[in-house]
Every structure is written in structure tokens, then in C-alpha cells.
């Protein structure tokens, strides 16, 4: 029986193992995960209302089910959304994989309801406003698991894998990959060598810079990808009501002047909460999620601006990290928040001024300040101009009390070179999911895991 070592128990790694079991493939599977088992994952902030900077790893981003367990669990059901896997394996295959992977989520108890599945007059109206504003509306049906339901679903998957013979080693860190004569033969886990016939690296966004380092150290083929830097915007539900009802999530893309960078909305959470996630290098990054039952009065969404570097600089992850570090420095290690009206008149926001608005920040330990002092001019200008375009689709979006949290950064910019069978430049080494740079969402990372399993059978 061949030994398969999967590093990272996020959706990509989990669905590789799940599909191999379903296909009754003869593999001795071990999954290494630096975070806790899903039943032991708990974000203390629910009680403390303040980030306690969990050590050694943030419970939001680490542990069985990866960034998925505490995530909003919005499964994007169209292959246009969630990453570039279709470019690698073809659109039809990617869509077939997503449809199939969705049936596995349903098998494990996902809600049968799909948001935004049918074209309505309201959606047509929103598309018309978007067209007038110069924005593209991407239709994408969504299955919403909800943070609390996602936790149970992934617990059931975890138990299923264990019951079917998978060795799940949680709280174990992989520090290195062993490559001899361009063949991967194992990995170093908690200082010990584990040999394997095949190694699958699926370490997610938080493991993207580690994988980047592995590539440079071992000569694994890679290329610099796009880096997304942005803000998390929060408005009252009333402002977003029309869009929330018609679409749940509005995926809008624009190329605002004068720079023409691609700017897009991402991860919209009606009635949701702005959240903080921490990376191992103490970087505090803003995100957002929503529960199925517990609702706030606000809607939050990310606005991300893509940057592509060519020559001589090819380290976009480092660039985004520097932006994040400066923003964290100005917030004394916390997430910064600023009112749009203050940005427009060129002043910082003071803590006491936040209470003068209709909107109450849902990230209660964010520090009022000046995000424009940290975010590069080009990025900030693109975001502000995009917000004005959004205001034509969602009147009130660009109002003075709209909140902008920073930094929102997406670390999937290192892209691993691979062919359509997911073969990297190193024999027996595969890289999947967000860490590989080919996905950036739950569904596509899961689908890539399924595809991986099919390549191994
Ligand atoms: C708060 C939040 C909300 C989100 N909401 C959504 C959403 O609603 N919809 C959506 O589509 N996407 C969402 N996402 C993104 C989504 O969670 C990711 O795209 C997806 O989880 C990627 O899957 P993955 O398997 O590639 O990596 P991950 O889920 O990141 O899993 C990687 C795993 O590898 C482990 N790991 C990393 N390095 C090592 C190492 N050296 N040794 C051992 N283990 C390691 C990590 O601890 C982690 O558990 C959200 C993300 C966050 C943080």
C-alpha cells in the first residue's frame, strides 16, 4: 500500500482523503495539521470579546477544516468564483467537480437551500445599475453553511476519516519537505522524519509564505502571482438590503481610474460580524463572517485591489506583509478602523466619534485611526474610487459613516507551477488549495482536493 502524506487539514487536504476513501483507493493516508482537532478549536474572543492571540496558532485559521471551521461557510457553486483552477483543468471539468463536491457537502448535512439561484427582476435591476456604474456583476449561486453549522459538518467529516483508517495527527507542525534528486520522499514533522511515497501540501493561505520558502529552498517551480490588498467595509443592513435579499452576496468587479487595477467585492456577510485572524508572524488581518442564526445590524464585505509585480520585484507576499505590518503598527497591534467621511476630509477617526454614527462596529476591539497613513496611495485611490462606483449600485454605500477596517490581505500570491494533472516540477510532490495559488475559496479548494484524489487513482 502506498504511503500518502497530506500536510494541512483544510478543505483541500480533507477532500483529497475523502475522495480516496470513496474511491476505495489503496493508500495509507496520514494528515498532518499544526492546529487542533475541530472539536478542540475554539476562538476565545467569543467570551473575552478581545483577541487573545492564541499560541502557538490562531484558532480561526488553524486546525482540522482549516480556515473553514469558523468561516462563514459560503460555498460558491460556480467555477467563475473562488480561484483560477478552471484555467488549469478546464471550465467544464472544474464545474463538474464543484457539482460533485457539493453533493458531498449535502451528504454531510449542508443546508439544501441555495441563495441567488434564479434570475429575478431585482437581480436584473442590480445588473443594470452595475452596468451604468461601470461594474461587472458576477452571478454565483451560494450554499450558506453558516459558521456554527460548518463546525458540526467538519466534525462529522473528521470522524468519518478517522473511522475509515486515516491517521490524523493534529497539533503537529511540518517544518520541511524532504526532496532527494528531485523526488519528494517525505517531510519533517515536529523535528522527526516521516517518509512517504507521495506528499500533498495543502497548507492554505497561512502556509503560503512557508510554501514559498520551501519553493525557493528546494527549487520547486513557482511564479509570483497577484496579491490582493484591501479593506473590510461595514455598513448598516438597511443600506445593503436590496442586494442582500436578491443575491445574498454581490460579486462586483471594476477597474477604476486612474490606475485601472482590478478591484472587487469579496466575502459579503449580511447581518454578519467583522473578524480578526492572526498569522504566525503576529500579523493581525481583518476578515468577516456570519452565523446562520445570530445576526448583527450590519453587513460587511471586503474590497480588494489586485497588484501584479513583474521585474525586478517578485515577492508579492512580502509586499502585502509590509503593508499589514505598518497598518498593525499604527493600530498598536490591533485592526484599524476609519470612517469614510474622515478619509474624505483627510482626518483620522477618533474612538469617541464612532458612537456618533448609526452604525456600531461589530469588531469591538478595532482601534479608530487613519488607515490612509498605511495603505499605499495606488491601492487606497483604487478602493475609494471603487466605493464611489458601488454607491451607484448601493445608494448610501459611500456615506460618511461607512466604516473601513484594515488591513485585509489575501496571501495566495505565490503560484505553484503544475500541469493539468497537478504534477509539480518535483516528482511525487503535489500542492493544493489556497497555498498553491490556484484557489481562494472553500468550494474550489475542496474541489481541487477531489481532483487530486482522482489523479492518484
Ligand atoms: C474568517 C474567514 C472566513 C472565510 N469565509 C469564506 C467563505 O464564506 N467562503 C469561501 O469560499 N471562503 C471563505 N474563506 C476562505 C476559505 O476558508 C479558504 O479559501 C479555504 O479554507 C482554503 O482551503 P485550504 O484547504 O486550501 O487551506 P486552509 O483552509 O487554510 O487549511 C490549511 C491548513 O493547513 C494547516 N497548516 C499550515 N501550515 C502548516 C504546516 N507547516 N504544518 C502543518 N499544518 C499546516 C493550517 O493550520 C490549516 O488548518 C474564509 C476564510 C477566513 C479566514
Same domain, yes or no: 33 and 162: yes
Same domain, yes or no: 181 and 291: no
pTM here? 0.83
Is the distance from the beta carbon of residue 270 to the nearest atom of ligand 1 less than 6 Å? no
Sign (positive or negative) of CA dihedral 140, 145, 151, 154: negative
Crossing angle between the packed helical segments 91-107 and 442-455, to the nearest 10 degrees: 100
DSSP letter at 213? Answer: H
Q: Which domain holds residue 283?
A: 226-410
Same domain, yes or no: 422 and 406: no
Is the distance from the beta carbon of residue 369 to the nearest atom of ligand 1 less than 6 Å? no
Is the distance from the beta carbon of residue 7 to the nearest atom of ligand 1 less than 6 Å? yes
- Contact present, 449 and 19 (Cβ < 8 Å): yes
**Quick one: which atom of ligand 1 is closest to the CA of 57?**
47
- Contact present, 209 and 283 (Cβ < 8 Å): no
Same domain, yes or no: 230 and 356: yes
* Strand, coil or helix: 357: coil
Same domain, yes or no: 218 and 231: no
Q: Is residue 131 part of a domain?
A: no
Q: Which residue's CA lies nearest to atom 26 of ligand 1?
A: 433
Same domain, yes or no: 168 and 266: no
Is the distance from the beta carbon of residue 390 to the nearest atom of ligand 1 less than 6 Å? no
Same domain, yes or no: 249 and 202: no
Q: Which residue's CA lies nearest to atom 39 of ligand 1?
A: 203
Is the distance from the beta carbon of residue 449 to the nearest atom of ligand 1 less than 6 Å? no
Same domain, yes or no: 159 and 290: no
Sign (positive or negative) of CA dihedral 264, 114, 40, 435: negative
Same domain, yes or no: 244 and 367: yes
Same domain, yes or no: 161 and 268: no
Q: Is residue 278 part of a domain?
A: yes
**Based on C-alpha coordinates, what's the Rg of the chain?**
21
Is the distance from the beta carbon of residue 34 to the nearest atom of ligand 1 less than 6 Å? yes
Q: List Cβ neighbours of 447 (8 Å cut-off, separation of 6 or more).
A: 15, 85, 94, 97, 98, 100, 101
Q: Which residue's CA lies nearest to atom 12 of ligand 1?
A: 441
Same domain, yes or no: 230 and 219: no
Counting the structural domains of the chain, the total is: 2
Q: Is residue 136 part of a domain?
A: no
Is the distance from the beta carbon of residue 207 to the nearest atom of ligand 1 less than 6 Å? yes
CA of residue 203 to ligand 1 center, whole Å: 8
What would the DSSP string read from start to end of 285-340? EEEEE--SS---SEEEEEEEEEEE--SS---HHHHHHHHHHHHHHHTTTSPEEEEH
pLDDT per residue, tens digit, the chain (457 aa), is 999 999 999 999 999 999 999 999 999 999 999 999 999 988 887 778 777 778 888 887 889 999 866 666 889 999 988 999 999 999 999 999 999 999 999 999 999 989 877 889 999 999 999 999 999 999 889 898 876 788 899 999 999 999 999 999 999 999 999 999 999 999 999 999 999 999 999 999 889 889 989 999 999 999 877 889 999 999 999 999 999 988 878 899 999 999 999 999 998 999 999 999 888 678 999 999 888 788 999 999 999 999 988 788 878 888 999 999 999 999 999 999 999 999 999 999 999 999 999 999 999 999 999 999 999 999 999 999 999 999 999 999 999 999 999 999 987 668 999 999 999 999 999 999 999 999 989 999 999 999 999 999 9
Q: Is residue 254 part of a domain?
A: yes
Is the distance from the beta carbon of residue 437 to the nearest atom of ligand 1 less than 6 Å? no
Q: Which residue's CA lies nearest to atom 49 of ligand 1?
A: 66
Q: Is residue 266 part of a domain?
A: yes
Q: Is residue 28 part of a domain?
A: yes
**CA distance from start to end of the chain:** 13
Same domain, yes or no: 192 and 243: no
The CATH number of residue 190's host domain is: 3.50.50.60
Q: Is residue 319 part of a domain?
A: yes
- Contact present, 229 and 321 (Cβ < 8 Å): no
Amino acid at each position: 500500500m502506498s504511503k500518502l502524506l497530506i500536510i494541512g487539514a483544510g478543505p483541500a487536504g480533507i477532500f483529497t482523503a475523502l475522495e480516496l476513501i470513496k474511491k476505495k483507493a489503496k493508500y495509507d493516508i496520514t494528515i498532518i495539521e499544526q492546529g487542533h482537532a475541530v472539536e478542540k478549536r475554539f476562538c476565545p474572543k467569543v467570551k473575552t470579546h478581545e483577541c487573545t492571540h492564541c499560541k502557538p496558532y490562531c484558532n480561526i485559521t488553524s486546525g482540522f477544516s482549516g480556515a473553514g471551521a469558523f468561516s462563514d461557510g459560503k460555498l460558491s457553486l460556480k467555477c467563475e468564483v473562488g480561484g483560477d483552477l478552471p484555467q488549469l483543468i478546464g471550465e467544464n471539468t472544474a464545474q463538474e467537480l464543484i457539482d460533485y463536491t457539493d453533493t458531498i457537502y449535502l451528504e454531510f448535512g449542508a443546508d439544501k437551500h441555495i441563495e441567488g439561484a434564479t434570475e429575478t427582476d431585482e437581480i436584473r435591476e442590480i445588473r443594470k445599475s452595475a452596468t451604468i456604474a461601470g461594474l461587472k456583476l458576477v452571478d454565483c449561486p451560494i450554499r450558506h453553511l453558516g459558521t456554527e453549522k460548518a463546525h458540526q459538518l467538519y466534525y462529522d467529516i473528521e470522524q468519518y476519516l478517522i473511522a475509515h483508517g486515516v491517521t490524523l495527527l493534529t497539533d503537529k507542525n511540518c517544518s520541511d519537505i524532504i526532496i532527494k534528486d528531485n523526488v519528494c520522499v517525505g517531510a519533517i514533522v515536529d523535528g522527526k522524519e516521516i517518509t512517504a511515497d507521495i506528499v500533498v501540501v495543502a497548507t492554505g493561505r497561512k502556509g503560503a509564505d512557508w510554501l514559498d520558502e520551501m519553493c525557493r529552498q528546494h527549487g520547486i517551480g513557482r511564479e509570483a502571482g497577484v496579491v490582493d490588498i484591501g479593506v473590510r467595509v461595514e455598513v448598516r443592513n438597511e443600506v445593503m438590503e436590496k442586494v442582500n435579499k436578491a443575491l445574498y452576496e454581490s460579486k462586483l468587479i471594476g477597474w477604476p481610474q486612474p490606475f485601472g487595477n482590478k478591484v472587487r467585492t469579496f466575502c459579503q456577510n449580511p447581518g454578519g460580524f467583522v473578524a480578526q485572524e492572526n498569522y504566525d508572524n503576529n500579523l493581525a488581518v481583518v476578515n468577516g463572517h456570519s452565523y446562520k442564526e445570530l445576526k448583527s445590524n450590519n453587513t460587511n464585505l471586503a474590497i480588494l485591489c489586485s497588484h501584479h509585480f513583474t521585474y525586478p520585484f517578485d515577492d508579492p507576499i512580502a509586499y502585502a506583509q509590509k503593508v499589514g505590518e505598518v497598518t498593525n503598527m499604527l493600530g498598536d497591534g490591533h485592526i484599524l478602523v476609519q470612517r469614510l467621511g474622515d478619509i474624505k476630509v483627510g482626518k483620522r477617526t477618533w474612538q469617541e466619534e464612532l458612537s456618533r454614527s448609526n452604525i456600531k462596529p461589530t469588531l469591538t476591539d478595532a482601534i479608530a485611526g487613519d488607515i490612509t497613513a498605511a495603505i499605499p496611495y495606488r491601492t487606497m485611490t483604487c478602493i475609494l474610487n471603487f466605493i464611489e462606483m458601488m454607491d451607484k449600485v448601493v445608494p448610501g454605500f459611500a456615506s460618511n459613516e461607512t466604516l473601513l477596517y484594515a488591513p485585509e490581505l489575501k496571501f495566495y500570491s505565490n503560484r505553484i507551477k503544475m500541469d493539468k494533472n497537478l504534477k509539480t516540477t518535483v516528482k511525487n510532490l503535489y500542492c493544493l488549495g489556497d497555498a498553491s495559488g490556484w484557489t481562494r475559496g472553500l468550494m474550489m479548494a475542496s474541489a481541487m482536493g477531489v481532483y487530486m484524489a482522482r489523479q492518484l487513482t
